[in-house]
Structure 1
């Protein structure tokens, strides 16, 4: 999963690096769309968490037939939900991007890019739900391999569709979105072919299964989606603050957002692969194994992220020049990297605790932790940094301090919760 996540997020970073070669204005326009793209991803990840958690619990309890029905219901509901969300975001694009601070020229660039980008986001969500089904059954090799394959397809198509080939001038900024559409479309075709040979889906008894499991699914999915939707909301508030610092700062912030997801590849891989394992332990009542898994995962996250963050911060002058299209954007990105990248060790702890909470029957607690991370720690520190210090330096320092405080809070909550797991989990699941 780590290899798959690296390839998937790596192509998104390279995608932005290609767009940066078009100029600061197209890169800034793409950066304005990131919060809404994260909104779609938040919904799909929240539903994916519920899919993996409920199916893995059913398998852990020996309910294979129920797991098949849950798989079918989840794929159908997820496909429809993301499609409706994409339509709403298309219809409301003008007021949303205007509220985010995009000027008339940026909105004109966004308009040509946004339609294919929404199609790509919908296809990516459907593929992601299929990956969740594989992970719930303990198969991470196929999702990881598919992430690598779709990333390579996108990487090959990006320069052709953006810049053109031969006498064809290319599509410019929309070409980046169309490359992703073709990449995820090929992934969806291969996913359907793989699912045909497996007995993981059932189409009988779905109505009855929905009556039995709908509340449980909502009890996990709704808090998980709220948890995942809060980062896009925070990103919208953050970019509205960043837009006051100018177009170069917005472009640098967009690149830093892409770099953040790539640098968190191990954390994201753990949040995808660990919950099904934890869910099976939850279904079997094996809390000793839960303790061992969480201790190991936290150690891996802290050590890896500190090593990677410090290394990239030291290499920031060269990395920033390679990614940015202009010296102004490069300088701003370098400052952001030095302050933010080392703090992702603490951010990774928080993300891991939230993911584990959804798998172990504490969805409300996970949701509240996500809210605290963003609206108690991250955004206030971001605002204070910009207000007290000003410029990109205050922006980066505020983000770094917010991540650190969130990680400390998450660790303290995890220790308290695991000291009495059965009582906490039972009460919360009944409440859900």
Structure 2
């Protein structure tokens, strides 16, 4: 009976930690999907141009998420060991370093954007749209990254409500600004495609102002002893951040390769794939929320040496992931024609998007398992295994199946191959997790 109560308490706590982030992720990803839906009304060419930018945008997001994982892991471990002064120093350091790294990356992506997009398959028409969109989009990416780092600090302290609220607020602001800046109002014709990026810039700036003030009020930052702390902490930070960033960079690299394959099938397919990519992240909102709320909790357990609760938490999270994601995937697959009609602007794109939804959405249950295992591994002392698992998911399971399917059966084969790749990735992650949890302290805690 006590075990049942313990599991029930864990489930309630997991729910309380996860639901604010789930609502926040839903709002954040929802506005990205709506953003693409607005752009789709401009025509297939602007939507295809925006879709070409997704892999590089995911590259920035991958680096910021990898750094955010390290931020949450180190601060939560310090808090679990009652080292509150160190947690404040770490907060100041990682915010400064993270903003600088993303800033330098954004500048580099602007300077070399034309040859990169040509390699991805963008033609002159797409490049004409990309040139006017990419600058403000990089600005919004930098603002979003710094905001995400602040969210990571709050999550490390066990506060998921403020990040969730701020995601909703910034999403609502973007939703209001999108049609105004894209299509204009009254006699003003609007900015077209760049208006979508400028709307996001304004929304993220609003979020930064509010969260920065909250961070200062809570006195979670310190400028005392930063140099000594940097000398002491850079190795453990890099030890977590480097494999985590490599893991997070694998999806953008895979996305670049995927968009190159899709580009060979035509602009209509590129536009449909871009919408499906937005829909993928939205449908995975609960999984993404758990990858944000669960690691800090696991980090505090890690700092306290509580491996029994770590095992219970991981098993509970995986059960929730499979049941929720499979149910949602089946429902959305059944409603695929109506969902595609709501998102896509032309019948051809709607038809191609419908096929993707039917194949891909149910397979995200397996993808969710893999994502949670990788997320847990980064904070529990086996980031190298997490990195290898993330690489295997994409380059052993997903991309080969997608490419072979496309080669043999065209668009239909590409969709089916991607779904099969997700299933294989989930089964692989489960097998790795079972092996590690059978010897947790030796396998997970100390071997990396």
TM tier, smaller:
over 0.9
In structure 2, what is the equivalent of residue 247 of structure 1? 267
In structure 2, what is the equivalent of residue 97 of structure 1? 117
Are the equivalent residues in 2 in contact too, given 1:363–1:428 (CA < 8 A)? no
Residue 406 (structure 1) shift: 0.1
Check 1:196–1:427 CA distance in 2 against 1; reply closer, same or farther (3 A cut): closer
Tell me which of 343, 348, 352 is aligned to 1:332.
352
Looking at structure 2, the residues matched to 42 and 301 of structure 1 have their Cα atoms a distance apart, in angstroms, of 22
In structure 2, what is the equivalent of residue 412 of structure 1? 431
1:184 aligns with 2:167: no
1:422 aligns with 2:441: yes
Could you give the per-residue CA deviations for residues 161-216 of structure 1, whole angstroms, max 9, x where no partner exists? Answer: 00000001100000000000000011111111111211211111111111111100
Looking at structure 2, the residues matched to 173 and 412 of structure 1 have their Cα atoms a distance apart, in angstroms, of 45
Looking at structure 1, the residues matched to 233 and 322 of structure 2 have their Cα atoms a distance apart, in angstroms, of 36
Looking at structure 1, the residues matched to 445 and 231 of structure 2 have their Cα atoms a distance apart, in angstroms, of 21
Could you give the per-residue CA deviations for residues 2-26 of structure 1, whole angstroms, max 9, x where no partner exists? Answer: 0000000000000000000000000
Matches within 5 A, 1:229-248: 229-248=249-268
Looking at structure 1, the residues matched to 67 and 290 of structure 2 have their Cα atoms a distance apart, in angstroms, of 17
1:295 aligns with 2:315: yes
Residue 427 (structure 1) shift: 3.6
Looking at structure 1, the residues matched to 447 and 378 of structure 2 have their Cα atoms a distance apart, in angstroms, of 11
Partner secondary structure for residue 134 of structure 1: helix
Partner secondary structure for residue 219 of structure 1: helix
Are the equivalent residues in 1 in contact too, given 2:178–2:195 (CA < 8 A)? yes
Are the equivalent residues in 2 in contact too, given 1:29–1:102 (CA < 8 A)? yes
TM-score norm. by structure 1 comes to: 0.98
In structure 1, what is the equivalent of residue 281 of structure 2? 261
Matches within 5 A, 1:20-35: 20-35=40-55
Residue 428 (structure 1) shift: 2.8
Looking at structure 1, the residues matched to 381 and 294 of structure 2 have their Cα atoms a distance apart, in angstroms, of 14
Deviates most, 290-299 or 140-149: 290-299
Looking at structure 2, the residues matched to 358 and 380 of structure 1 have their Cα atoms a distance apart, in angstroms, of 26
Are the equivalent residues in 1 in contact too, given 2:437–2:444 (CA < 8 A)? no
Tell me which of 32, 36, 53 is aligned to 2:56.
36
Q: Is there any run of 5+ residues in structure 1 with no aligned partner, and where?
A: none
In structure 1, what is the equivalent of residue 7 of structure 2? none
Looking at structure 2, the residues matched to 374 and 303 of structure 1 have their Cα atoms a distance apart, in angstroms, of 23
In structure 1, what is the equivalent of residue 194 of structure 2? 174
Looking at structure 2, the residues matched to 355 and 11 of structure 1 have their Cα atoms a distance apart, in angstroms, of 25
Partner secondary structure for residue 159 of structure 2: coil
Matches within 5 A, 1:146-185: 146-185=166-205
Are the equivalent residues in 2 in contact too, given 1:364–1:428 (CA < 8 A)? no
Residue 238 (structure 1) shift: 0.2
Runs (4 or more) in structure 1 with deviation over 3 Å come to none
Tell me which of 93, 111, 124 is aligned to 1:73.
93
1:355 aligns with 2:375: yes
Residue 146 (structure 1) shift: 0.1
Tell me which of 19, 39, 46 is aligned to 1:19.
39
Looking at structure 2, the residues matched to 188 and 426 of structure 1 have their Cα atoms a distance apart, in angstroms, of 35
Residue 426 (structure 1) shift: 4.3
Query: Aligned-pair RMSD on alpha carbons?
Result: 0.6
TM-score norm. by structure 2 comes to: 0.95
Looking at structure 1, the residues matched to 219 and 429 of structure 2 have their Cα atoms a distance apart, in angstroms, of 38
Looking at structure 2, the residues matched to 395 and 10 of structure 1 have their Cα atoms a distance apart, in angstroms, of 25
Are the equivalent residues in 2 in contact too, given 1:134–1:140 (CA < 8 A)? yes
Aligned residues: 428
Looking at structure 2, the residues matched to 427 and 202 of structure 1 have their Cα atoms a distance apart, in angstroms, of 31
In structure 2, what is the equivalent of residue 140 of structure 1? 160
Could you give the per-residue CA deviations for residues 349-401 of structure 1, whole angstroms, max 9, x where no partner exists? Answer: 000000000111110000000000000000000011101111x2111101000
Looking at structure 2, the residues matched to 294 and 427 of structure 1 have their Cα atoms a distance apart, in angstroms, of 18
Looking at structure 2, the residues matched to 424 and 107 of structure 1 have their Cα atoms a distance apart, in angstroms, of 49
Residue 425 (structure 1) shift: 3.2
In structure 1, what is the equivalent of residue 416 of structure 2? 397
Could you give the per-residue CA deviations for residues 228-282 of structure 1, whole angstroms, max 9, x where no partner exists? Answer: 0010000000000000000000000000000000000000000000000000111
In structure 2, what is the equivalent of residue 128 of structure 1? 148
Are the equivalent residues in 1 in contact too, given 2:381–2:446 (CA < 8 A)? no
Looking at structure 2, the residues matched to 95 and 227 of structure 1 have their Cα atoms a distance apart, in angstroms, of 25
Looking at structure 2, the residues matched to 199 and 22 of structure 1 have their Cα atoms a distance apart, in angstroms, of 46
Looking at structure 2, the residues matched to 204 and 64 of structure 1 have their Cα atoms a distance apart, in angstroms, of 13
